[in-house]
Amino acid sequence: MGEAWRILVPGGRLVLVERQAKPGARGHAAHGLTRGQAGDLTRQLTDVGFGQVRLTAVKAGRKSVVIIRGAKA
């Protein structure tokens, strides 16, 4: 997350979108982020200085995706 902070200009936004995976999933079903991993990434963004950090889970057809947003102050 530090590298994202370094390259963004002040006011720049970071948006991460990834498929939501179930804890313990294997194979192709494991591709993505669990809710816990998404929470960890959210905390990491806050720790390096991103503001307005938000974590949202939304349905995309039959699947769910997690969206993590943050802005460089």
Across the range 31-54, mean pLDDT stands at: 94
User: Which pair of tokens denotes residue 14?
Assistant: 């970071």
Residue 1 has pLDDT above 80, yes or no: no
Residue 54 has pLDDT above 90, yes or no: yes
Residues 6+ apart with CB under 8 A from 46: 53, 70
Phi, psi dihedrals of residue 52, rounded to the nearest 5°: 55, 40
- Compare 4 and 29 and report the one with higher pLDDT: 4
Structure confidence at residue 25 (pLDDT): 86
Across the range 15-21, mean pLDDT stands at: 94
Average pLDDT, whole number, for the chain?
Answer: 92
Q: What is the CA radius of gyration of the chain?
A: 13
